[in-house]
Amino acid sequence: MRPLLLRLDHFGSFRDPVDVDFSDVDYFALTGPTGAGKSTIIDALCFALYGTVPRWGRENVIAHALAPSVAAGKVALLFESDGRRYGVVRALVRDGKGTVRTKEARIDELAGGVPLGEAWEAVVRPLAEGEHVTAEVQRVTGLEYRFFTQCVVLPQGRFAEFLHAAPRERQDLLVQLLDADVYEAIRQRAVREEETARTSASLARDELGKLSGATAELEEQLDGRLSALRRLAATLDADLDLLRARESEIRRATRERAAVAERQAALAAPRMPDGVATLSSARRAAAEAVTSLLDEVATLEADEHEADEALAALGGRERPQAALTALDSRDRLTAQMESARAQARSAAESLESLRSALQEAESAMAEADRRRDRLRDAHAAADLASRLTPGDPCPVCLRPTPGENTPPRPTAPTGSAASGTPAATTAGAEDPRTGGHADAESRAGAESRAGAGGHAGAGGHADAGGHADAGGHADAGGHADAGSHTGAGSHTGAGSHTGAGSRAGAGGHAGAGSHAGAGSRAGAAVHAHAGAGASRVVVRAPGAAEIRAAEGALAAARKEAERARTAYAKGETSAGMYATQVTRLEAELAALPPAVDRAAVEGRLAAIAKAEAVAAEARSAVRAARSRLRQAQTEAERADRRAADAWRTLETARDRLLALGSHDDPPPPLARDDLHRAWTDLLAWRDEAARAATAALAERDEELAAATAGLSRERARLAERLREHEVPLPGEGTPEQLGAAVAGEVARVESRLERVREARERAAELAEELTAKEHAAKVAHELALRLRANAFERWLCAEALAVLVTTASGLLRELSDGQYELALSDRTEIEVIDHAEAGMRRSARTLSGGETFQAALALALALSDAVARGLDSIFLDEGFGTLDPATLDTVATTLERLAAGQERMVGVVTHVPALAERVPVRFEVRRDTKGSHVRKVGP
């Protein structure tokens, strides 16, 4: 038996349908963690074949096949045995009480060579169903259930014990594995056979006593009486023929009387149907009603046609209705367009005010930004000036800062500080937005202007806006000459520097020779190099609070500008939306058909509605008239059918009477023009024929009585002859019964004579049987005594062990690559012959773990071959997880040799990855919350 395809559907832990394909594998492993469902696959294979599983306990327990939450399941197995393909299916169901039972079981022979996916449909012939499936499986596989569970899943652990057990323990184990307790059954059978033989002998003795009356004298007496009866039977035929002639005459007379009686009964049967007299008038009235209604329907149909033509002349209501709908749409769109235009104008007006607010907000934000930048520049210039020392290079222009001996820069003859010309102060000024500064070569007219005099923001001369000429010293509103220091506002001199070449707090600009410090604008004052005799210049800087206030004002201005920008974007969107709506509504109005007069359209619709009402009324009248016409036609047809039925009944009655009557006086012909008259004529003829049939019946009765009396006289004469020969008379005494009585008596005498002869033969046979049964009882008694001795069991186990070890030795030699063989010692201990050690014999207990597995496997295979020869598949379910790596390697090598050296399927059930990885094909079984799943891995 070789499995090809196993299908599980809600079996055990497999909740989803799963197919396990064994068709293209010879050596495989069922792998997965403990509890994943590996053994469930073996259980399903065993359950499909035999309807039970070993680990469920009793063979009739099937409740474990379904999980508690599953209502139905199925297992199907496709397998081959002796070159033929079979399919077995078992379906389970849980009933309302929770009991699991087998719903379906069947086994079919399938066509070979068909792909597995189509094999279930290729049924050659069904083999068995229901409770007969298990017996059929045992027949086709040649394996009973207990042998299958021993040979398919080999009991490896038991054979490991078998190798190391003591002789007494080995004998007990061998009795279990080889089912040797059958000899105890044989002994018990011998005891029963002895009892049966003694019972049979006793019965034969009793039966022989009962046959003592079968003597030779009785046989001779019966033989003489049989000869006399045979002579009587030979002369009886003439008398019986006379009786048969009398009986034939009586039967003829009886038939003639029956025919007359039948004709008389048939003549009495015809009866005129009810209503035949009034049927003609009813048919005429129904025909007249149909004609009248046909005229009425024609008139009403003409009125209907006239109303339909009037309605058609008015035309359909689609066009006026569409025109009225267009008028409504035009009014609606006009109102919507006026509203949209008003909203568009309002949005445009609001957009102008929003644009002005946005411009003002952006201007305020720019002014706040410029003020903040001026304050930052002034702060940076003051910080730079506080750290300058005369003679050091300026960090802005890289020129040395002036000291005590630094000559003043000459001033131009025009545009002097005394003249206070504003143009002289701006020629070399930097752009306050770029942060750059003008050097001596880039300033226009720098050599002709007096230093860095700035113009006052307010038009007067003050600290922040006074002009300084060469060497002057400015007061609150005067001018400074060469080398002088500026006061609170700005200072200039020949070769003087501005703090950053930027705008002063009051709007002053640096003149010729000024520099932009650090590339940024000065806020309220510029820094200057010290003049003659000066080492440091102290310049006032704006405070931190003033800068924070400027930044706060800038943030507020930005927020206000963003709000104005958002409001303007919303207004612009609304204006565009309303403009788009106006355009769309104008396009829809233009697409509408031209306007028409509403009153005219409504009047036309009213006229159409009135014409439709008139046409509907006409149609209703036509339908009512047609309904009445159909009823009248139905009544007329019913009257016609009644008349036709009455005619058929009349014709049938006449035909039956014609068949019964004589040809000399047939029934009268039918008057086709009058049904009632035709019935009356036929019934009158019937009455006359009935009187003639009564007279004929009386004549037949007299003839039959005479024939019966003659038959009685002949039967009495023949009965007297039979009584003379002691033949029992039958009850009625017909010729057949009289002949049968004589033949029966002959047969009874022959039978009794035969029984006497058989009894005499049986007595001789019983004498021989009695002797044989007494001998069989003696042999069975001796066999029971022999088998009861303990020596027989020891002898039997010794012989079985020798055969088993011899077979296992050859298998072990193949599995160990010729290194090991098995042998029995003089004390019936199992020893190992190690050819790697020059054929040294040693105890099996000295084998390593892997070598023990090889020897145990060889013994298991030997048992498998002894119990089930020709087994095409085996499964090894051994505890491989307890083996060390070296032993596990030996086990894996042994299994590989087993799979390669024999033409059988080898399956290994293991959860050890190291062993599974060496198997070419693996069925990986895993389990999750949805149940167990299997996946094939490998070629």
* Model confidence pLDDT, tens digit, residues 634-681: 988 888 888 888 888 888 888 877 777 665 677 888 777 777 788 888
Tens of pLDDT, residue by residue over 3-54, are 999 999 989 889 889 999 988 888 888 888 888 888 888 889 889 998 888 7
As a whole-number percent, the residues of the chain with pLDDT over 90 amount to 9
Q: Cβ(365)–Cβ(558) under 8 Å?
A: yes
Q: What's the pLDDT at 506?
A: 32
Tens of pLDDT, residue by residue over 239-291, are 888 888 888 888 888 888 888 888 778 877 787 887 777 777 787 888 888 88
Instruction: Taking residues 565-592, report their average pLDDT.
Output: 85
Look up residue 70 and give its DSSP letter. Answer: -
At 491, is the pLDDT very low, low, confident or very high (cuts 50, 70, 90)? very low
Q: What's the pLDDT at 85?
A: 93
Higher pLDDT, 436 or 66: 66
Please tell me the number of Cα atoms within 13 Å of 662 on its side-chain side: 8
Q: What's the pLDDT at 882?
A: 60
* SS3 label, residue 734: coil
Instruction: Taking residues 364-379, report their average pLDDT.
Output: 86
Q: What's the pLDDT at 789?
A: 55
As a whole-number percent, the residues of the chain with pLDDT over 70 amount to 77
At 916, is the pLDDT very low, low, confident or very high (cuts 50, 70, 90)? confident
Q: How far apart are CA 452 and CA 515, in angstroms?
A: 10
Look up residue 407 and give its DSSP letter. Answer: P
Q: What's the pLDDT at 413?
A: 41
CA angle 74, 80, 82 (to 5 degrees): 145
Residue 629 CA: distances (Å) to CA of 115, 619, 624, 640, 662? 71, 15, 9, 16, 50
Instruction: Taking residues 120-135, report their average pLDDT.
Output: 92
Q: What's the pLDDT at 878?
A: 60
Q: 925: closest CA among 18, 55, 7, 9? A: 18
Q: What's the pLDDT at 93?
A: 92
Q: What's the pLDDT at 107?
A: 95
Lookup: tokens for 439: 């050097």
Indicate whether 466 pLDDT > 50.
Answer: no
Q: 14: closest CA among 923, 919, 937? A: 923
Higher pLDDT, 840 or 450: 840
Q: How far apart are CA 66 and CA 931, in angstroms?
A: 12
- Where do we find the tokens 């060579």? 113
CB under 8 Å, gap of 24 or more: what pairs does 53-58 form? 54/149
Tens of pLDDT, residue by residue over 876-905, are 766 566 666 777 777 778 777 777 766 678
Indicate whether 469 pLDDT > 80.
Answer: no
Q: What's the pLDDT at 852?
A: 79
Q: What's the pLDDT at 918?
A: 86
Instruction: Taking residues 595-604, report their average pLDDT.
Output: 78
* SS3 label, residue 236: coil
Q: Which of 99-103, 370-374, 587-591 has the lowest mean pLDDT?
A: 587-591
At 868, is the pLDDT very low, low, confident or very high (cuts 50, 70, 90)? low
Tens of pLDDT, residue by residue over 605-616, are 888 888 888 889
At 310, is the pLDDT very low, low, confident or very high (cuts 50, 70, 90)? confident
Q: Cβ(40)–Cβ(11) under 8 Å?
A: yes
Q: Which of 137-141, 407-411, 867-871 has the lowest mean pLDDT?
A: 407-411
At 181, is the pLDDT very low, low, confident or very high (cuts 50, 70, 90)? low
Instruction: Taking residues 477-487, report their average pLDDT.
Output: 36
Instruction: Taking residues 486-510, report their average pLDDT.
Output: 35
* 775 phi, psi to nearest 5 deg: -70, -45
Q: What's the pLDDT at 534?
A: 41
Paired residues of 99 in beta bridges: none
Instruction: Taking residues 746-759, report their average pLDDT.
Output: 86
Label residues 154-190 b or e (16+ Cβ within 10 Å = b). Answer: bbbebbbebbebeeeebbebbbebbebeeeeeebebb
Q: What's the pLDDT at 664?
A: 64
Indicate whether 191 pLDDT > 60.
Answer: yes
Q: Cβ(708)–Cβ(732) under 8 Å?
A: no
Higher pLDDT, 806 or 385: 806
Q: What's the pLDDT at 335?
A: 87
Number of residues in the chain? 939
Higher pLDDT, 565 or 517: 565
Q: What is the enclosing helix (H) or strand (E) of 928?
A: strand 921-928
At 430, is the pLDDT very low, low, confident or very high (cuts 50, 70, 90)? very low
Tens of pLDDT, residue by residue over 709-724, are 888 887 888 888 888 8
